[in-house]
Amino acid sequence: MLNFYKLPKDYLKFEGTDRLDLVNRLSTNQVIPLESYKGVKTILTSDKGRFVDLLTLFNFGDFVFVECSFNNAANVTAHLDKYTIMDDFTITNLSGTHETILFFGENVEEFISKLTGVDIAALNESGFILTSEHDAIAFRSDDINGGIEFTYSVNDRDFWINAIFSEENRSEFGITEFSPEQFEVMRIESGIPKIGKEMTDLTNPLECGLNKYVSFTKGCYIGQEVIARLDAYDKISKHMVGIKLESTKDTLPAYGDKITLEGKECGFVTSAIVSEKHGPIALGFVKTIFLDHSKEYAVKHNDTLIECSLVKLPFNKLAH
């Protein structure tokens, strides 16, 4: 079965001769040199090494098209403006002008190849396809669930919706839409952090396990000293964990509920949901000194203690 989900995102356009250099100096990954028609993910961090956002950059040669988290474009813009002094760099907020659909599951490459007329199987993980008509971007997702993200202009929505959901495609591929709740279950089961939940001004990329978007050789960027010190001295103070809960849908913990071990506060919950496979589950953070997957923990929710255990992510490694 081929599945799809419309990913909520904001969009930006970076222009100016310093567009790549500035982002390279402000984010965790190596952005220079990013070749034309290549993409890269990088994390904007504060001077304390905490999250501003995870960005996906698409280099079109004379400008960079950027995807960031939904409702976070203003925050990203303000952060970049703060550090733009003499740079030749301008930002245009394109939020609301584009849409992104994630296709995942069976036959996804065959489907995208048919849709775009390009053999997407030949793409490496950092390249992207720009369709020859009604410009749209096809980009391979590097999340644990894989799939291909497809971004198009809302001006071309009717064309792409008709092309994607034609009777022929529905019959051949059995295209099925994920609801927001289904997608949230998959995200939590997979241990994928989300801005405003796991990725906040209380956490950093290493605590969320996003080391693949952090270059430890590129040199200085905002927050680099903090992140490099945490890595070099193995001083990560807390880790994102999966949590298996002894609760019901009606007693799921809320964001910020405290995790305890033998009565001592040792972490907090960030996301919770009921999974068909695993029952009530959550993501959260536990301080390193308290982290022990063999012990029993509890979550303080209102006046109730919910018993729980920690799970190594992703949840789908568990037998079920």
What is the side-by-side strand order in the sheet with 176-177?
128-130, 136-140, 148-153, 98-105, 2-7, 176-177
Rg of the chain, C-alpha, whole Å: 21
Q: Is the pLDDT of residue 104 over 90?
A: yes
DSSP class of 199: B
Q: Which residue has the tokens 């053999």?
A: 119
Local confidence band at 319 (pLDDT 50, 70, 90 cut-offs): very low
The one-letter amino acid code at 140 reads R
Local confidence band at 272 (pLDDT 50, 70, 90 cut-offs): very high
36-63 residue pLDDT tens: 999 999 999 999 999 999 999 999 999 9
The one-letter amino acid code at 300 reads K
Count other Cβ atoms within 10 Å, centred on residue 183.
Answer: 18
Measured in residues, the chain has a length of 320
Mean pLDDT of 97-113: 96
DSSP code per residue over 298-309: EEEETTEEEEEE
Say how far apart CA 28 and CA 250 lie, in whole Å: 40
Q: Which two tokens stand for residue 173?
A: 């591929």
Could you tell me which residues come within 8 angstroms of residue 257 by beta carbon, excluding any fewer than 6 positions away?
268, 269, 299, 300, 301
Would you say 188 and 210 are in contact if contact means Cβ atoms under 8 Å apart? no
Q: Which two tokens stand for residue 303?
A: 């006046």
Mean pLDDT of 185-194: 98
In percent, how much of the chain has pLDDT > 70? 98
Structural domains in the chain, sorted by start: 2-93 (3.30.70.1400), 98-164 (no CATH)
Say how far apart CA 249 and CA 234 lie, in whole Å: 37
Can you tell me whether residue 222 is helix, strand or coil?
A: coil
DSSP code per residue over 247-285: --GGG---TTPEEEETTEEEEEEEEEEEETTTEEEEEEE
Between 202 and 132, residue with greater pLDDT: 202
Could you tell me which residues come within 8 angstroms of residue 86 by beta carbon, excluding any fewer than 6 positions away?
none
DSSP class of 314: P
Would you say 65 and 15 are in contact if contact means Cβ atoms under 8 Å apart? no
Local confidence band at 124 (pLDDT 50, 70, 90 cut-offs): confident
Count other Cβ atoms within 10 Å, centred on residue 143.
Answer: 14
Mean pLDDT of 237-246: 97
Interior angle at CA 147, CA 145 and CA 150, nearest 5 = 140
Would you say 222 and 83 are in contact if contact means Cβ atoms under 8 Å apart? yes
Between 119 and 223, residue with greater pLDDT: 223
Q: Which two tokens stand for residue 120?
A: 């997407």
Angle subtended by helix axes 19-26 and 73-83, to nearest 10:
100
